[in-house]
Amino acid sequence: MATVRTLPGITSKMIPTERIQMHVLFSGPDDGIPVVFVHGNASSSTYWEETMLALPEKYRGIAPDLRGYGDTEDLLIDATKGACEWSEDLKALSDVLGDKPGHLVGWSMGAAPVLQFTLDYPELVTSITLVNPVSPYGFGGTKDLEGTPFHDDFAGSGGGTVNPEFIRRMQLGDRSTEDPNCPRNVINAFYFKPPFRAAREEDYLSSLLLEKCGPDRYPGDMTSSPNWPNVAPGVWGPINAGSPKYLNLSGIVDLDQKPPILWIRGDSDQIVSDGSLFDFGTLGKLGYVPGWPGDDVFPPQPMVSQTRAVLEKYKANKGSYHEVVIANAGHSVHIEKPQEFMKELIAFL
């Protein structure tokens, strides 16, 4: 069923729902306590298999491929809905599987649909684990702990901020190492803290290359802007859906039902940090993008600090969270440091 080979103990199924044909990986007993794993951008459910197999026997691991990724049906992502397209897909999957409350685990961009699902269907969420999560205020274009945009058009976020050479090579199915923008090199330089190399590198690369690309897919369309860096969000695709123009998950602080949150991240994450190498504020400051207007106008987005500020408000409003920082790990702590990660996850569950 799955395009990418699966490990022994993992079951691959295509699940028809009212919204979409969703490819889902499963582990553990059918009647086990659900733990739903949501992958990030440029990946798929493949990245969760080892974690699923390491769960105690009483849990049922469930890892869907989000719309736009993996082997799930190729349908458009309406970016103007933020993470709601994905949240609604997850609810449709939940309807088929039995609408049973579960533990939600979201990695990177996958934290957005997890938090949106919690906002939309809090009665179905037992706990939340955020793994190197995107900021509650989205990716790019904001400057302070409250997620204030630099400009009214949210310039510096959305589909136009993705390196076009990386996209071109994705579309070609490039598996080489001839250029820094080759998907394989991006995985090894940024998903993990070098010199780490994953044993399943070929499978992870194959998983990345399944992402649907194009101006209305990944990364999405863009609009020109008079504001540096002269691109603003469009209305289609996953990177526009993660723009602060459409995504704001800080409303979790006002939920009546507040599931406990585990926030776990690597100390050397270059993708989600207060100085992300994928953020135009950081790239401009380092001189990689010309015309940077300076810290007063466009500083690096404080992604980690924004997350902490929102979670502190969550705690102050009678919620709870626990932050764990894993040493010598990058953006994928569940793969780089599996024993340390599983120790924290299982204790939390």
Residue 82: which H helix or E strand, with range? none
Sheet holding 102-107, edge to edge: 11-16, 21-27, 59-64, 33-38, 102-107, 125-131, 261-266, 321-326
Q: Is residue 6 part of a domain?
A: no
CA distance 119 to 90: 13
Average pLDDT per 10 consecutive residues for the chain, totaling 349 residues: 93 98 98 98 98 98 98 98 98 94 98 98 98 98 97 97 97 97 98 98 98 96 98 98 98 97 98 98 97 97 98 98 98 98 98
CB burial readout 34-55, b (16+ within 10 A) else e:
bbbbbbbbbbbbbbbbbbbebb
**pLDDT for res 342:** 98
CA distance 277 to 269: 9
- Strand ranges, E, within 8-145: 11-16, 21-27, 33-38, 59-64, 102-107, 125-131
**pLDDT for res 99:** 81
Q: Is residue 2 part of a domain?
A: no
CA distance 44 to 150: 32
Q: Is residue 4 part of a domain?
A: no
- DSSP 8-state symbol, 348: H
Q: Is residue 341 part of a domain?
A: yes
**pLDDT for res 273:** 98
Note down the domain range covering 36. Answer: 11-348
CA distance 325 to 303: 15
- DSSP 8-state symbol, 135: P
- Residue 316 burial (C-beta neighbours within 10 Å; 0-12, 13-18, 19+): exposed
Q: Is residue 210 part of a domain?
A: yes
Q: In angstroms, how far is CA 209 from the centroid of its own chain?
A: 16
CATH number at residue 291: 3.40.50.1820
Q: Is residue 115 part of a domain?
A: yes
Q: Is residue 182 part of a domain?
A: yes
Indicate the residue type of 28: G
Q: Is residue 3 part of a domain?
A: no
**pLDDT for res 209:** 98
Measuring CA to CA, which residue among 158, 137, 156 is closest to residue 148?
A: 137
The number of folded domains in the chain is: 1
**pLDDT for res 84:** 98
